Amino acid sequence: MLRENGIHITMSSYQIARDGQALGEFDESQIQEGLQTGYFQPTDWCWREGMSEWQVLDVVFQQSSAQPAQQMPKPMLATAVNPYAAPRANLVGRLPQTTSRVYVEKASAGSRLAAYILDLLVFFACFLPAGLMSETALGKSDLMLYVSFGLFGIICITNLILIATDGQTVGKRLMGIRIAQIEDSTKAGFIQIVFLRTLLGKGALGLIPLYSLVDILFIFSDDGRCLHDKIGGTHVVKVLS
């Protein structure tokens, strides 16, 4: 039993999440018991239909877990940053009663295009030293070429690391978006992103005339998924902040 605007109401279930990962859907009695046994933490986040945003359990249920209250100072809760955006109309999908999916917000077409352009600019910038080579600069042409390939290698390695850890490229990191699995919006796998989404969905099929143009235009489709997203089983969402 909870109080909202001075009225006691009873809601059947809450979505619970911790550190950006969904724990599942639980009713009030399960949550109360979980707080007492330590299965849930006071700093876990919860949301149910009718709530304007995610809130920590300690605020919603007004009680601590089995851990003594003095070990969980209130300033920590007051300054904690909510990693979940408030549910909005354009969130990706609705959470079924039997799933543990976390609400996420779809990346806008503008942010995806901006990330794509930024990635292109970064790669082109790598070869700028080689483009400035001068035939009259004796002994310097080879050096500038090595610098360009070195920068290109650094960017490639950086992107691989970002993809493996966060599902991002340099451009996507700058725009605050990431690649996620379409099923549950969790981090997409390295092989899924690199081989299916990139090498097949962009590289191999990109040899087909006009494929790349059609692919990028799918950003403006209803679900915002490009052809390479559909091949890789992914979509692009905003980074939780």
pLDDT for the residue numbered 135:
52
One-letter identity of residue 220: F
Distance of CA 114 to the CA centre of its chain: 16
- β-pairing verdict for 2-4 and 7-9: antiparallel
Instruction: Give tens-digit pLDDT for 177-198.
Output: 999 998 878 888 888 999 999 9
As given in the structure block, the two tokens for residue 108 are 């806008």
pLDDT for the residue numbered 53:
82
pLDDT for the residue numbered 140:
58
Whole-angstrom CA distances from 76 to 66, 72, 114, 161, 235 are: 17, 7, 36, 32, 34
pLDDT for the residue numbered 143:
81
Below-50 pLDDT ranges, the chain: 1-11, 63-82, 85-103, 136, 138
Of 27, 28, 20, 30, the C-alpha closest to 54 is 20
pLDDT for the residue numbered 101:
40
pLDDT for the residue numbered 96:
37
What distance in Å separates the CA atoms of residue 25 and residue 88, rounded to the nearest whole number? 19
On whether the CB atoms of residues 201 and 229 are closer than 8 A, the answer is yes
- CA-based max dimension of the chain: 83
Alpha helices (runs of H) in 8-140, residue ranges in sequence order? 28-37, 57-61, 74-79, 109-126, 128-131
On whether the CB atoms of residues 195 and 234 are closer than 8 A, the answer is no
pLDDT for the residue numbered 116:
92
Beta-strand runs (E) in the chain: 2-4, 7-9, 14-18, 21-26, 45-47, 55-56, 177-181, 234-238
Instruction: Give tens-digit pLDDT for 68-113.
Output: 433 433 333 333 444 554 444 343 433 333 333 444 688 999 999 9
pTM of this structure: 0.56
Domain boundaries, the chain: 2-79, 109-238
On whether the CB atoms of residues 203 and 60 are closer than 8 A, the answer is no
